[in-house]
A and B are shown apart, each in its own frame.
Chain A
Amino acid sequence: MTDRVERLTNLLALLLETREPLSLVQIAGQMESQYPDGQSARRAAFERDKAALRDIGVPIEQEIVPGGEYAGQTRYWIDRGRYELRGLELDDDEARALQVAMAATRPGSTSGQEALWKLGAGALDRSAAISAVLPDLPELPVLREAVAQRVAVTFGYRDVAREVDPWGLLLRDGFWYLVGFDHARGERRTYRIDRIEGEVSMIAGRTFERPDGFDPRDALPADPKQIGAVDEVPTARVRIDAPRAAAAEADLGEARVAIRHPDGAIDVDVPCANLPAFRSWLIGFLEHAEVIEPADVRDHVIAWLESVAS
């Protein structure tokens, strides 16, 4: 009995080098006694090998003979163009830079390590003095592919099945967003990718054009408090006590400061179109901040706090 690695390698070599698609009978014949003789045992062993090769990323093509003596027979081969990594000639320093980047953002990733090896880079270092944790979501790889290939996708979001032309992906404020054109709504929409329900699938053949100059950063206001704002941006005036004033000003920018009080407190004008985001920001100050106006925003905050205080 041949070692399994040896048999897998020989099968891979055979399917890569063959000039024409091969049936299982031909494969077993060429590989001499490596597959069992019995028909069903042979089929089972071959299916297992085929699955193993596909699992490690080998694209195995198959066709069914349409007519003639062997009509209905399945034949297999590997298209070298689809098998090999091509068109990516990295210089050593470039491969090493990607290795450092991976160590700084996905230090423990086995798929990241695999990718680096394919590029000719080395083992992934596990610590970096300066790093960023990238949230990992299973939907991201297929969404990226769809964005690059300009193919529409379908997925569930807020209990509704969506069909979307994916224009771009954005990581901001620790969350991944998809920006795209929603077919049913006929307009551009932004989706939080972690809120996508179920699988994302590409809709074969449904390609699209992306608007010129598109940038996902423009689709999403940098400040979550502005999400939903149209032209006139509504603002609320908020008083912030002296101990927190400097940090608030650094965060908001000097331009938002409306009044400076003698005791060091400041009044700032802050966008409040996205009320939940505004409220969340405000509550971060606890009793060191207070909405002065407008009255409806002030009342909303009071009602919100009362629901917790009772």
Chain B
Amino acid sequence: MTPRPKPRPAEERLRRLLVMLPWLMERGEVPVSEVAARFALTEDEVVLDLELIAMCGLPPFVDELIDVFVDDGVIVVGVPRLFTRPLRLNSVEAFELLASGRAAMELPGADEQGPLARGLAKLATALGEDDTAGVRIDLDRPPLLDRLAAAATASEELLIGYWSASRDETTERRIVPRQVFADRGEWYVSADDDRSGTVRTFRADRVLSAEGTGRIVAPSDAPLPTPGAWFDDESVRRAVIRLAPAARWVIERYPVDQVSPPNRRGWVTVRVPVASEQWLVRTLLRLGPDAELVEPAEWRTDVAAAAGLVLARYRRS
């Protein structure tokens, strides 16, 4: 038996109706199934809500202000009088549209004269943006990124030279790029990786060379990591670190499980996923006296050893 769907709150139903009605009124007749798919509802929900709205109107409630009925799986909307236009955008929606559009214009393959650029210009005008200086997005791309993105779109196999930070060596590998994304100031490429036989995510700026092998390879069906959440897996080990106020940027830049309230000196204690110990070592070297590793305690020796290795170089010369 399928579980009964949860009752939807009245606000949510009305909100959906207010975007659905203007769209329906412009079209006149639309199959219920199409409306359901477009507005992320079940067909029953669409019919229920539209039948309800057909009873609404103005006093004395005899005239049908919203002339809508369902006939043989098709929604039919008569001459509209009410709710012909959608509600204005609120400030969050306005920001998200503008920022998304501007960011997409910075992605490889964006067309300066295309429909996105045109739609964005109309949106900016409607939002009172008199130029593009109000909201700017810089997604500086490493030299080979466009090549990787093109390969991802075409399922093209590449031979790449890759510098691995964790092993500090350059390797050659065959990859079939599947997705390319920017996250927290870096670009990444997730690809079917010949060497490991799985999907791996590479830092695009560490791809030192990329050449097409001339083969088009059907992408595997192995799941891809989700940009934004991809190095945040639950199976990954955790570290607990104390951070000085000057090191708080770590909380914004990397995913953290927990942040304690600041103590009297403004230090906070955070719990962070550590996908690679090398990453943690580097980060702690960068933070220097502004951070203390609480646990796992055994990594403290590794951090000190890494610092010692760099220092040895200065003492030698």
Q: Given known contacts A130-B149, A284-B282, is B59 in contact with A31 (CB within 8 Å)? A: yes
| Chain A 111-169 interface residues, beta-carbon cutoff 8 Å to B | 111-120, 122-123, 127-135, 140-142, 144-145, 147-149, 167-169
**A144 and chain B: residue at smallest CB distance:** B95
Tell which of B15, B248, B306 touches A286, judged by Cβ atoms closer than 8 Å: B306
Known contacts: A129-B153, A169-B136, A307-B288. The answer to whether A123 contacts B38 by CB under 8 A is yes
Does A171 lie within 8 Å of B284, measured CB to CB? no
Considering the complex, which residues of chain B in the window 136-186 have a beta carbon less than 8 Å from any beta carbon of chain A? 136-140, 142-143, 149, 152-153, 163, 168-170, 178-186
> In the complex, which residue of chain A has the Cβ closest to the Cβ of B145?
A130
A267 to chain B, nearest CB (A): 13
A50 at the interface (CB under 8 A from B): no
The answer to whether A32 touches B61 (Cβ under 8 A) is yes
Q: Give the residues in chain B near A70, CB-CB below 8 Å.
A: none
Contact A98-B86, Cβ < 8 Å, known A14-B58, A168-B135, A244-B163: no
Residues on A with beta carbons closer than 8 Å to the beta carbon of B87: 56-58, 83-85, 118
Cβ of B93 and Cβ of A114 under 8 Å apart?
yes
Residue A243 interfacial (CB < 8 Å): yes
| A16 to B92 CA separation, bound complex (whole angstroms) | 24
**Beta-carbon nearest neighbor of B125 in chain A:** A87
Q: How far is the CB of B42 from chain A (nearest CB, A)?
A: 13
Residue from A112, A129, A195 within 8 A of B97 (CB atoms): A112
* Residue B214 CB within 8 A of the other chain: no
Contacts of B206 in A (CB 8 A): 247
Indicate whether B94 reaches chain A with its CB closer than 8 angstroms: yes
B65 → chain A, closest Cβ, in Å? 7
Query: Are B100 and A98 interface neighbours, CB within 8 A?
Result: yes
Residue among B40, B93, B109, B140 making CB contact with A112, cutoff 8 Å: B93
How near does chain B come to A50, taking the closest CB pair, in angstroms?
A: 12
A208 at the interface (CB under 8 A from B): no
Q: Mark A230-268, 1 if CB is under 8 A from B, else 0.
A: 000000000000011011001100000000000000000
Residues of B with C-beta under 8 A to A16:
82
Interface with B: A4-12, A35-43, A183-191, which one? A4-12
Bound-state Cα–Cα, A192 to B10, Å: 39
Q: Which of B69-77, B192-200, B235-243, B308-316 contacts A (4 or more CB under 8 A)?
A: B308-316
* A306 adjacent to chain B (CB < 8 Å): yes
If A13-B82, A173-B185, A286-B309 are given as contacts, then 8 extra A-B residue pairs at C-beta distance below 8 Å, sorted by A number, are A57-B87, A59-B88, A104-B104, A133-B184, A141-B94, A145-B95, A194-B252, A286-B306
Residue numbers of B with Cβ under 8 A of A are 10-11, 13-20, 22-23, 26, 37-40, 49, 52-53, 55-59, 61, 65, 82-83, 85-101, 103-109, 114-116, 118-120, 122-123, 125-130, 133-140, 142-143, 149, 152-153, 163, 168-170, 178-186, 205-206, 208, 224, 227-228, 248-249, 252-253, 282, 284-286, 288-289, 303-304, 306-314, 317
In the complex, 28 of the A-B residue pairs with CB atoms within 8 angstroms, ordered by the A residue number, are: A5-B17, A9-B14, A12-B14, A14-B59, A88-B126, A98-B100, A98-B120, A101-B105, A112-B96, A118-B93, A129-B179, A131-B180, A132-B103, A145-B91, A174-B186, A175-B185, A195-B248, A210-B133, A250-B142, A284-B282, A284-B286, A287-B313, A290-B314, A290-B317, A298-B314, A304-B288, A305-B314, A307-B288
